[in-house]
Amino acid sequence: MRTRKIFVYSIIFFIIFNMFPNRALSQDEDKSFQKPNIDARCAVAVDSNSKILLYEKNAYELVPMASTTKVMTTLVALKYGKLDKKIKISSKAAGVKGSTAGYKSGEEITLRELLYGLMLRSGNDAAVAIAEEIGGSIEGFAKLMNEYAGEIGILNTHFETPHGLDREEHYSTAYDLAVATSVAKKNPIFSEIVSSRDVDGKEKGFTRSYHNINKILWEIPDANGVKTGYTGKAGKCLITSAPIQGNDVIIVVLNCPKRWKETGRIYEYVDKNYNFKKLFSKGDIAAELKVNKKDLKLKYENDVIIPTKKECKYVTKIIKPKKINYTVNKGERIGMICIYEDGKIIYKNSLIASDTVKVRRFLDWTF
């Protein structure tokens, strides 16, 4: 009798369990939307265009960043250097420690090729050669790096070397590295270099061919860069750029033992949790104001595309002066757009004047 009851209960349980397969599936799907606990000291995901944080763990902690330093090295080289100029490899460059591209003392390599050796092979020899040519020395080049970092709004970073080998005063944050990368990605030469998987030396007119050691280009579909890094103090580091819904997202993991896997988890989290929405187009009228009783329209300077989450509330505010009593030139920045997520500001950008409106003072008429 007892055996029969157990049998009947088993059949009932089996029927009930199989009546609700979709519910069980939806619960599993919900778990995939949760913020992942990433095994890294620091990590961020940032929308390259708006600079909005999509994921963060210790985003602003000051830490060593190893060869991810070379993003800034490349930015400075592109700003001050001449790509087709040949640079002679010094004995100091050829003898540097750590990863190298294999350049020999006395070789003459164009700056363009050195940048491929720098970013694809993480060549410390390329970094020293570039620094000596453009900055006169490693110290002189580091000064240029710090100056340029300030120009692009990187305030919690300090460079001592062009290659990123451990130094006490050589540090950055995950967020700063993401911002530097977003600036660099706007340069088509930088983007071409870091997205290259293999480079045929003969086709490029280089002294040798280069294979990219950045495995993320094969791990994430459509990934287009950017840079690996490793030292004893910094641990394993990685900066990745990959499009999500047509928008580049920069992912940074620092001191991350499983950097390929953890970067993939952050990528999946952003892809499943965010929808990129175009709120306004470049040139759309955002507001109007009076300039000495004359009408002036304010336009959006750029497309406003925002990554949004379903459960969050977004509010847009236009900040502008009530009136202006001075001449305004076309394209001049006046006022701004601010976007809030659940009451916290996440985005702001300038508005620009659509036309020139001149204001003539009494003294102007008198003269």
CB 216 within 8 A of CB 227: no
What angle (nearest 5°) sits at the alpha carbon of residue 218, between those of residues 109 and 113? 5
- For a pLDDT cut of 70, what percent of the chain falls above it? 89
Query: What mean pLDDT comes out for the span 161-169?
Result: 97
- Residue 283 pLDDT exceeds 60: yes
Task: For residues 363 and 177, give the distance between their C-alpha atoms in angstroms, rounded to a whole number.
Answer: 52
How many whole angstroms separate alpha carbon 121 and alpha carbon 101? 6
Cα–Cα distance list, 219 to 41, 222, 268 (Å): 22, 9, 12
Inform me whether the pLDDT recorded for 363 exceeds 70: no
* Mean pLDDT to the nearest integer, 303-312: 93
Of 48, 67, 172, 241, which one is the catalytic site residue?
67
**In the structure, what pLDDT confidence band is assigned to residue 8 with cuts at 50, 70 and 90?**
very low
Summary mean pLDDT of the chain: 90
Predicted confidence (pLDDT) at residue 3 exceeds the cutoff of 90: no
Per-residue pLDDT, 360? 74
The reported pLDDT for the residue numbered 361 is 64
CA-based nearest residue to 293, from 329, 333, 324? 324
Percent of the chain exceeding pLDDT 90 equals 84
Q: Quick one: pLDDT band at residue 359, thresholds 50, 70, 90?
A: confident
pLDDT of 365 strictly over 70: no
> pLDDT-derived band of residue 146, with 50, 70 and 90 as boundaries?
very high
pLDDT score of 7 more than 60: no
> What average pLDDT score do residues 120-141 get?
98
User: What is the reported pTM?
Assistant: 0.86
Q: Does residue 90 register a pLDDT over 70?
A: yes
In the residue annotation, 70 being an active-site residue is answered as yes
Predicted pLDDT of residue 362:
53
Q: In this predicted structure, what is the pLDDT of residue 20?
A: 39
User: What confidence category does residue 139 fall into, taking pLDDT thresholds of 50, 70 and 90?
Assistant: very high
Both tokens assigned to 280:
């306004």
pLDDT bracket for residue 216 (50, 70, 90): very high
Residue 28 has pLDDT above 90, yes or no: no
Marked catalytic residue, from 70, 185, 236, 299: 70
| CA pseudo-torsion sign 88, 91, 96, 101 | positive
Q: Which residue has the higher pLDDT, 3 or 178?
A: 178
The two structure tokens encoding residue 49: 């265009």
pLDDT digits (tens, 9 = 90+) for 100-128: 999 999 999 999 999 999 999 999 999 99
Q: Please give the pLDDT value at position 5.
A: 46
| Nearest CA-CA partner of 251 in 213, 223, 231, 293 | 223
User: Quick one: which of 17, 140, 16 has its CA closest to 76?
Assistant: 140
User: Of 122, 172, 182, 196, which residue is the catalytic one?
Assistant: 122
67 noted as active-site residue? yes
Give the chain's domains with CATH numbers: 42-273 (3.40.710.10), 280-366 (2.60.410.10)
Q: Is the pLDDT of residue 55 over 50?
A: yes
The pLDDT of residue 313: 94
Instruction: Look at residue 322 in the predicted model and tell me its pLDDT.
Output: 85
Q: Write down the pLDDT at residue 310.
A: 85
- Mean pLDDT score, 71-100: 98
- The residue with tokens 């690996």 is 228
Residue 118 DSSP SS3: helix
Identify which has the larger pLDDT, 27 or 347: 347
